[in-house]
Amino acid sequence: MAQADLTPPLPPLLRWLLMLLPFALWGTAMAAMKPLLEGVDPLLVASLRLLPAALVLLLVARLLGRSLRVDPGDIPSLLAFAFVDATLFQALLARGLVQTGAGLGSVLIDSQPLLVALLARALFGEAINPVGWLGLLVGLLGIVCLGLPPELLRQWWLQGPAVQGLHPWSHGEAWMLGAAAAMAVGTVLCRYATRRSDPVAITAWHMLLGGVPLLLAVALGPLLAPGASAAAVLDALRPAWSTLDWALMAYASLFGSALAYGLFFSFASRGDLTGFTALTFLTPVFALLCGFLLLEERLAPLQWLGAALALVSVLLINRRGKLWQPAVAGASGGADGGARAGGPGAGGPGAGGPAAPEGGVASGPAHETEAG
């Protein structure tokens, strides 16, 4: 039996602000991690992002009176969730940040809503419809405009001469593409891991279980090297960071992981998965706005266009059920067809966006009767 959601309903405005917050935090957490990777094992940065966040989130869940118990039926899904979304995703992300080039890495990591939409359609029957597909493509175009240099786009579009010094593809982009796929699969696995268990507790346990192998891998490297010693292991686990570096690491862990993932997977465990993860398109928008407001960085016209496209894509995807209402005859056959498609007539997950209580039935495997 699915665990009842005892959280009181939130006002719509507060709900939307909390839904946007993880993507705003992620937009700055990656920037905070980037300087920490110089001369440090990427797996160490990944483990330090997960383990403190897991402990803090477990403490917060306990203080909020949430159950930390994992239902035995959810344990296999939790283990898969921890490996794919924590161990694999964070390792690929940290490794990709070391070598990512020309902004294409951020474009690839933020393209995961496309993969989530395909998985949600196949596994949960979420309706996407033509407006939803259009929104996904517009969002992808938006992050391309945000992430790639104008000179490179001009060379691609106009088939002009090669741009000197700009190499869009490197090994870093391959790592980032793998990270995007891992996060997409992990987002889907979250629904199976939270069928009978609290989503905040599951998020904390998955970060703890996923961070330990990363830390062990960092320690095993010096142990397997010739002339291994305990001092070498301690040096590998104790980076020579400044106070500012440790502050950046704390921000990436406590805000970019504990708070961001706690909110993200709480919302992703129920409701419209496609519409919610489409907010990922706003991650580079928040990163650019942060640079604009705090660092006085000026946005190029192409970046303003990308930000506008990202906003339009989120609107299209989350309102796709109301923007696309194909004419259906009053015959019962037409109504049955709408129900099978999960469209507005069925009250499916695409009917009202992630925040609309009238959106009908949540699409997760354990929330068949829960309002989205």
89-110 per-residue burial string, b: 16 or more CB within 10 A, e: under 16: bbbbbbbbbbbbebbbbbbbbb
In 3D, which of 271, 293, 243, 214 has the Cα closest to residue 27? 293
**Contact call for residues 353 and 15 (beta carbons, < 8 A):** no
pLDDT for residue 227: 72
The per-residue pLDDT for range 244-302, each reduced to its tens digit, is: 999 999 999 999 999 999 998 888 887 767 677 777 777 777 766 766 666 566 667 77
Domain boundaries, the chain: 12-219+242-322+343-359
Structure tokens that stand for 190 in this block: 């979250």
The per-residue pLDDT for range 57-82, each reduced to its tens digit, is: 999 999 999 999 999 999 999 999 99
The per-residue pLDDT for range 292-335, each reduced to its tens digit, is: 666 566 667 776 777 778 778 777 777 777 777 765 444 444 44
For every residue of 159-171, DSSP letters joined together read: T-SPPTT-----H
The average pLDDT across 229-240 equals 83
Note the pTM of the prediction, 2 decimals.
Answer: 0.71
